[in-house]
Chain A
């Protein structure tokens, strides 16, 4: 059953420069290779939008085909402050790091701070303990669903099995249906869509004006508090694994 709704859901893809965000977006959208053939290594300037289809709640009676906008935002350091103009209205974020480069994983905390403005910081810089690095990137405290993806998995074949809330992806291969990666990805997208679907499910019974619970960017200065008060930003995170009761 295809959705007749003309809107699509905005999901950000963030990470350092050259971790493979553009390749990841094309991989999720379902193509093995990006259009234009071959692998080009040009850095993304600004933002590129890639459309991806997703089966919302596949396998249940409420299954729907939804359209997602993946906003692939260039990660160059000089562009970082200006890139916050793209954060407006996003309902989910994918943080991408490079499995061959440990610093890119540590820098994810910076991106997370840019998303919601909570300073995360000074964990001991030299801690090589993966648990300590993982603690610094605490996605549970963020108010929109966040997924962490490690790319270039084909270059580190010795890595062990990955924890349940992260993905290790080789962006040059298609994500097979039914693989663990595709299940985690589907859960993440479902949780993002739930945050918009919830309001439209409630709207039929309650109010006329609905505002999807989305992001406002971390604006500097006094406008931040005003914007945060005006938007319906809820601090209750939805982990991708809580099952949503039907009708609630």
Chain B
């Protein structure tokens, strides 16, 4: 008995230590990357974000532990239940409650804030439950508040987000990296556009100058007018004469202001074109460096991978095929049977799948964090309430993304670990999730291709000039 509790406390310490490590990483990421241009005023949001990040990373860690066989099985399964329930509670209860509280706080007085935010959360829970109805994802013999029910719904949303992001990423990566898509932009194009913009700004300044002088004149004249005692007839005559002559000061000022508005719009469009030209110029220059050449080759591989993935998803959907063997075992089998490499399948599959899962976990965490940073920094401004809400939404998306990537990981590991994952995550219809991922991935990839083609074509008219 004593030996068992020793192992228990050691495992618990390992788990706790890694949780604290991930929490600190999430905290630092929040301050240094997401909020690198502003100050963090709301520490609660930061706490919630780091908490979600910590639990999500510990899920990946537990999968790796499963495959590598670290920690006693009993404490492992206890840690699984612990982490899963905590992250689900965070995703379904904590984040939505605080988000609705933040939304309500700006609108209503103090008395009504708490009940209204609880009410908003109940509405959220209702719609969250309703997601489960149209999808055949759960065997009907489970209760209401079990982990399986919640995971199934979280899984749907998370898988959708994952598929959209992967689809877009798979198409966007070759578009950004390959030099085939960069246009021939040179320094003199930029100079030409700068000259046009400077000329437009000169015109605007000219007109504004005239308008300012007329306004000063008008103010002076009306100041003089109020000093004189005007009789009724003088005032009547003045208004009549102002209406008849078309070139009074007021009408000239109005006419100048009307002329300035389209010029300002033109200046804005020219400026945006200039920004885009400069970005393209930077890209052309970058592609000539060593890093650029490396990225170009990488882009070619990505495009091959992307085309293959689209093709496979299409085949899966059309022929309703579910992969029986994971890619790792399949590759090793191909190596052994067709190429005669003497490998012990079961021995190597463990290590390679462990390595593969680790790589997938790290790259998906890193990719998601980078995407979030770019998105957040570009749209956040100092209006702190909105950026807090967006940070909470990102925490929610991150949590759902990681939970569903654990779900989908099942396809990438060999048979014996699949049963472990099935046992942990409950009796879900996993095939549904894979099919759903393929459908959404296909839709997202195809629409990204259409979208990027449209952007490319619409930009080409400017670049050809």
Contact = CB atoms under 8 A, between A and B. Distances in A.
A118 B228 CA distance: 58
Given A45-B271, A82-B271, A85-B194, A51 B201 contact: no
Interface in B257-288: 264, 267-268, 270-272, 274-275, 278-279
A81 B279 CA distance: 9
Nearest to B216: A53
Interface string A78-93: 1101100110100000
Given A46-B268, A81-B278, A101 B194 contact: no
Interface stretch (B64-72, B96-104, B157-165, B206-214): B206-214
B241 interface: no
A47 B209 CA distance: 16
B201 A2 contact: no
A45 B38 contact: no
Given A85-B194, A100-B382, A79 B212 contact: no
Looking at A8, A45, A51, A101, the one whose CB has the most chain B CB atoms below 10 A away is: A51
Contact of B208 (A16, A51, A104): A51
A18 B384 CA distance: 11
A85 B197 contact: yes
Contacts of A101: 38-39, 382
A49 to B, nearest CB: 6
B383 A41 contact: yes
A133 interface: no
Interface string B346-386: 00000000000000000000000000000001100111000
A100 B278 CA distance: 33
A18 B382 contact: yes
A2 B268 contact: no
Contacts of B381: 17-18, 41, 43
A198 interface: no
Contact of B209 (A8, A78, A98, A102): A8
Contacts of B271: 45-47, 79, 82
Contacts of B211: 51
A103 interface: yes
B209 A88 contact: no
Interface string A23-48: 00000000000000000010101111
Nearest to B378: A78
Contacts of A46: 197, 267-268, 270-272
A85 B209 contact: no
Interface string A57-80: 000000001010100000001110
Nearest to B35: A103
Nearest to B36: A103
B59 to A, nearest CB: 33
Nearest to A44: B268
B251 interface: no
A76 to B, nearest CB: 8
A129 interface: no
B216 A2 contact: yes
Given A82-B278, A85-B274, A103-B37, A49 B382 contact: no
A68 B296 CA distance: 50
Given A2-B216, A18-B381, A101-B38, A86 B205 contact: no
A196 to B, nearest CB: 15
A67 B209 contact: yes
B440 interface: no
B194 to A, nearest CB: 5
Nearest to A6: B209
A88 B198 contact: yes
Nearest to A2: B216
Nearest to A67: B212
Contacts of B264: 48
A88 to B, nearest CB: 7
Given A18-B382, A67-B212, A49 B204 contact: yes
Nearest to B197: A85
B35 to A, nearest CB: 9
B212 A53 contact: yes
Interface string A88-120: 100000000010111110010000000000000
Given A6-B209, A78-B378, A16 B37 contact: yes
A102 B201 CA distance: 33
A138 to B, nearest CB: 22
Given A17-B381, A49-B208, A103 B267 contact: no
A18 B383 CA distance: 8
A47 B201 contact: yes
14 contacts: A6-B209, A17-B381, A45-B268, A45-B272, A46-B197, A48-B264, A49-B208, A51-B212, A65-B216, A69-B208, A77-B37, A77-B377, A85-B194, A85-B198
Given A47-B271, A78-B275, 13 more contacts: A16-B37, A17-B381, A45-B272, A46-B197, A46-B268, A69-B205, A69-B209, A79-B271, A81-B278, A85-B198, A85-B274, A98-B382, A100-B382
Instruction: Give the 6 A-B residue pairs with the shortest CB-CB distance, closest first.
Output: A46-B271, A51-B212, A18-B381, A82-B275, A18-B382, A82-B274
